[in-house]
Structure 1
Amino acid sequence: MGTLNEDYLLVAAIDFGTEYSGYAFSTRDDYSRDPLKVAANTWGAGNLMSLKTSTCVLFDKNKKFHSFGFEAEDYYSGYALDDEHHDYYFFRRFKMKLFDRMQLKRKFMLEDEMGKKMSAMDVFSACIKYLKDHLMKRCQRNLPNTIDSHIRWVLTVPAIWNDTSKQFMREAANKAGIIDEQLMIALEPEAASIYCQHLPMTRLGITGGGFVPFAPGSKYLVFDAGGGTVDITVHEIQSSGSLKELYKANGRNWGGTYIDIAFRNLLADIVGNDVMDDFQATQMMDYIDLFREFEVKKRNFKNDMTERINFKVPIALNDDFKQKRGKNIKDHIKTKPQYDQKVNWIGDKLRMESGVAKGLYEGACDSVARHLKSLFSEGQVKDVQTILMVGGFSESPILQDIIRKAMPDKNIIKPADPGLAVLTGAVIYGHNPSVIHAGRYTYGVKAKVYPEAKKIADYDKDVLCADIFDIFGHLML
């Protein structure tokens, strides 16, 4: 790994998310005047406008990159509508594969929506390259002389990933054209924490006097809830203002996609999983539109809502159901006691009682609440009084309410725009890497003799030797 470039003009951060991805940047001059002056791109898909785009990527039959984000969804949907999608490779929500695989191999394969396989490295690097190139084009509109060497790049990763997964992302970035001398890896909770330190108290939702969450010596738990994972770690502010990790990052796959999966499971429970599978495979445009509609609706779900929720459901789903079952969903749903008077299907509308809608959050939110209670019973975390909620899923009023009820004695801080905390913080970190206290180092000695029994061949058929490093201890520098 080379020395980080010091002769840069701007910092660009890429947040490669499970559900949504985006980028942000700022020049050196902007940072010196206002660290929070960060530019991001606005992406659109129908009624859905966002500072991030969908983490979906499309390749043609030759495995050549075609499109990314909302654009990839729309293209693939159109091809599916014309029954011309079979030779294309369409990937969505694949980032979690790096979390799921305990023994990650550089050459492992990803399965697309139709079960066809491509190299994971090719898929990840193509996505990073798209975001990199998109950002470069935007920068060059305002700063025509901008070239690659002028940029310091920051790529964010979940803190709960192991070192192998983080290294995989670094290599994917290298393949996308970002060399090590221009690349920094930022842990998502740390980036979010940096962002919040720069916000005025009012934008953190703090209006009373006396409580200063980021004073030197203060400790707080960072609750970073993204699309795929919930990252939880504990930070302490050093006298220099830098961050130090006090408690090793932990968490699970309890992010916002958990709610989407619960919604899909609800539909599958009504119409049958076979119908949902066929609907997804043959009516991809309608399937994507259905979940875009759900995304817009769920952002306004609250614990105190009482009105029924209306969802527009494509007619094609009822047509598919009728063809398989010989009746309409409207009539069929009346035969399922668990949905009696709670869920109605009228034409192209699904009407759902608020209790059913809120119930979609139970699995993820209850797991999070139990996990937090367990953490706060441990010695290293017991005296921590503040929870900092960041990440896109932290925008959910239902999640916020459940955490407040589960942790009534804690100070809950949520910035006004938690979904952008990681991106903005990553840009600030790129300008000032010293804001993160140096990491953990392991020290010991390695064996001079490599026993045959401990030699292994890795995925590239290189011969390695396991278990030859005797650990004396760890240093936090």
Structure 2
Amino acid sequence: MIVDETGKKLSAMLVISLSIGYMKDHLMSLINKRCIGIDEDDIHWIITIPAIWEDSAKQFMREAAVNYGIKSDQLSFALEPEAASLYCHSVKVVLADGETPADNSTKRQGVVLDDEHIPQSIGLKRKELRRSKLGEKCMILDLGGGTADITVHERQMNDSLREIHEPSGGPWGGTAVDREFFTFLSKFFGRKVMENFKKKSMSNYVDFCRAFEIKKRTIDFESTRPVSLKFPATFKEACDESSNLFLNDALNKSQYSGKVLLVGDKMKIDAKIVKGFFEVPIQEIVNHVNKLLKKVGKIEMIMMVGGFSDCPLVDKAIRDNFPCIQILNPKDSVLAVLKGAVIFGHRPTAVESRIARYTYGYEIWPKFDPTIHPLNRKMSLGGNACCKEVFHPYIQKGSEVKCGDSVSSTHCPVNDTQKDLSINIYVSTEKDTKYITDPNVRHLRTIQLPLPVNKSGQSRKVKSRLYFGATEVMVETIEVATGTVHKATFDCL
């Protein structure tokens, strides 16, 4: 269950399924108006997701899409910073006359897809056109509404990309500024006023949020004029009913007296206060980039994409803090993920390798060795002394995994009457993990393996094969005796 702005609860699966379905139906309607002979079986759907999402979130999105009628084998996920990177690496950079590749003095650099058709409207002369170079390292800052999603890629042969640091980031997108703004309003109007406003006039509340969204995109470092916002009439009604205070009375009693003015139905906020709403998310982004640079070393370029990267304050902060790195903020940065997702759909192996964010493994009970196993883990299994709950890794955190690479393990049933086999998969935040009960380990999912029918003299061993190099962890099982391949059940929820 998830809660809306007014506190009402609804199934998350229903909300997300209908949201995906709305976009799907809209596209199909548009296609039917403009095309002939296109149906759903001709389409492979791509859903873009943050790279920092857990496996359970990916499964949730897949189930939500399938619930609305999208076939699972016609659906893929593109990681948003990867999609943006694919797009940005495919375009050519147009530099202004007199600008050098490392010059960060301009607000942004234009980008074009075709050097034969440079838009005249961008006002740039054809000084230099180039794509990212072979071996060039680039950090992608995907700064969207909810999250800052960051990856580092290196350009390879055939325009493919190699991930050199696992995806990272946090809740430092544009909505972090919104939270600061509404916290600011709640300080002197009161939380009940804001809640009343939303409950009694949601449409006006949404319009008010959109008005602030427009204003926050125009604030830059040099802004000194107060930011003016118009309050709906219903807001004053909410204030009167909740606290019996008029707006000016509430304002004069707050810490913002003299810095915030109410003139008629408008609120004028000192520019310094509004800039303060940006400080926390911007500082978090800068600090995180600094940490990544210490790990990955020198990089040639930082690409900024996503709606929050359009904010002048964000743009300036990145340029000021990293003056020796070329900063590329494409003109159509808001669409970079969308366009990159289309590229990914046609070239799903364009990112040739990724870095494992976690250590994946499964539980084994090996022969007890008193020199390496603690005595309290000694158990008897089938008359043999074994060590219980040992974590056996498929792949370790920080390992480079190429697209299409797999890791295999062989499993045997405990007895002849067993019809299926369950393998518990665990994930660890540490590189070296010994036992599934360690504090850094959690159960991820269970694989259900169908076992071959018990026949005299025939092996019932089953081999599981996990693929880690794609945007999702995929699994299949093979009967050793017959070579029959099965798709295993994978459940993270």
Q: TM (normalized to structure 2)?
A: 0.67
1:115 paired to 2:7: yes
SS of 1:305's equivalent in the other structure is coil
Deviation of the 1:346 alpha carbon: 1.5
State the alpha-carbon separation in 1 of the partners of residues 389 and 42 from structure 2: 41
Secondary structure at the aligned position of 1:321 is classed as helix
Alignment of 1:155-174 (within 5 A): 155-174=47-66
Q: Contact between 1:443 and 1:475, CA under 8 Å: does it hold in 2?
A: no
Question: Which letter maps to 1:307?
Answer: R
1:65-464 → structure 2 map (5 Å cutoff): 109-202=1-94, 205=109, 212=130, 214-336=132-254, 338-378=255-295, 381-439=296-354, 447=364
The CA deviation at 1:319 is 2.5
Instruction: Structure 2: state its 5+ residue gaps.
Output: 96-107, 111-123, 367-376, 378-387, 403-493
- Cα distance in 1 between the residues matched to 2:203 and 2:6: 15
Per-residue deviation, 1:212: 5.0
The 1:475/1:368 distance shift into structure 2, 3 A limit, reads closer
* Structure 1 CA distance for aligned equivalents of residues 219 and 131 of structure 2: 29
Q: Which has the larger radius of gyration?
A: 2
The offset of 1:443, in angstroms, is 8.6
Q: Once structures 1 and 2 are overlaid, which stretch shifts more, 282-291 or 196-205?
A: 196-205
Cα separation, 2, equivalents of 1:466 and 1:282: 55
* Displacement of 1:341: 2.3
Distance in 2 separating the partners of 1:468 and 1:327: 62
Cα distance in 2 for residues equivalent to 1:340 and 1:386:
44
8 A contact 1:315–1:347 mirrored in 2: no
Unpaired runs of 5+ residues, structure 1, are 1-108, 454-464
**Offset from partner CA, 1:180-218 (integer Å, 9 cap, x none):** 221111000010011112222128716796895611111
Counterparts in 2 of 1:118 and 1:319: CA distance versus 1, 3 Å? closer
Distance in structure 2 (CA, Å) of the matches to 1:249 and 1:239: 22
Cα distance in 1, alignment partners of residues 360 and 159 from structure 2: 27
State how many pairs are aligned: 354
Equivalent pair of 1:159/1:188 in contact (CA under 8 Å): yes
Q: Give distance in 2, aligned partners of 1:127 and 1:467.
A: 42
Give the drift of 1:322. 2.7
Answer whether contact 1:196 1:421 (CA < 8 A) is retained: yes
Contact 1:228 1:253 in 2 (8 A): yes
Distance 2:129 2:342 in 1: 27
CA distance in 1, matches of 2:276, 2:144: 20
- Mean CA deviation greater in 319-328 or 128-137: 319-328
Distance 1:475 1:417, change over 3 A: closer
Q: Is the 8 Å Cα contact of residues 94 and 128 (structure 2) preserved in structure 1?
A: no
C-alpha separation in 2, matches of 1:331 and 1:359: 24
Q: Deviations over 1:35-66 (max 9, x none)?
A: xxxxxxxxxxxxxxxxxxxxxxxxxxxxxxxx
Report SS of the residue matched to 1:240. helix
Letter in 1 for 2:252: K
Evaluate the alpha carbon distance shift between residue 468 and residue 302 of structure 1 in structure 2; reply closer, same or farther with a 3 A threshold.
Answer: same
| SS state at 1:232 partner | strand
Offset, 1:286: 1.8
Distance 1:445 1:273 in 2: 48
What's the offset of the Cα at 1:472? 6.1
Which is helix-richer, 1 or 2? 1
In structure 2, distance between residues paired with 1:165 and 1:190: 18
1-structure distance, mates of 2:307, 2:252: 36
Structure 1 residue 315 displacement after superposition: 2.1
Query: Aligned-pair distance for 1:448?
Result: 7.3
Q: For 1:117-173, what per-residue CA distance to the aligned partner results, in whole angstroms no more than 9, with x for missing partners?
A: 332222211111111111111111111321001111111110011122112212222
Cα deviation code 1:267-291 (max 9, x no counterpart) = 1112111111111112212211111
CA contact (8 A) 1:311 1:349 kept: yes
Following superposition, the deviation at residue 256 of structure 1 comes to 0.6
Q: Which residue is equivalent to 1:85?
A: none
Q: Per-residue deviation at 1:440?
A: 5.5
SS in 2 for 1:201: strand
Match of 1:91 in 2: none
Distance 1:472 1:361 in 2: 39
Change (3 A) 1:310 1:217: same
**Alpha-carbon distance, 1:466 to partner:** 8.1
Which amino acid in structure 1 is aligned with residue 341 of structure 2? A
Say whether the 8 Å CA contact 1:195–1:425 is kept in structure 2: yes
**Maintained 8 Å contact 2:172/2:281:** yes
What amino acid is aligned across from residue 361 of structure 1 in structure 2? F
Q: Report the residue type matching 1:194 in the other structure.
A: L
TM-score (norm. length: structure 1)? 0.69
Q: 2:393: which partner in 1?
A: 470
1:116 offset after TM fit, Å? 3.5
Determine helix, strand or coil for the equivalent of 2:393. Answer: strand
SS at match of 2:158: coil
8 Å contact kept, 1:388–1:412: yes
Q: Please state how far the C-alpha of 1:329 moved relative to its aligned partner.
A: 1.0
Distance in 2 of aligned mates of 1:331 and 1:172: 48
User: Which residue in the other structure is 1:69 paired with?
Assistant: none
Distance 2:264 2:162 in 1: 56
Residues 368 and 444 (structure 1 numbering): CA distance in 2 closer, same or farther, change over 3 Å? closer
Could you say what the CA RMSD is over the residues aligned between the two structures, in angstroms?
A: 2.7
- 1:142 corresponds to which letter in structure 2? R
How far, CA to CA, are the matches of 1:467 and 1:183 in structure 2?
A: 36
**AA paired with 1:238?**
Q
Tell me how far 1:397 sits from its aligned partner: 0.8
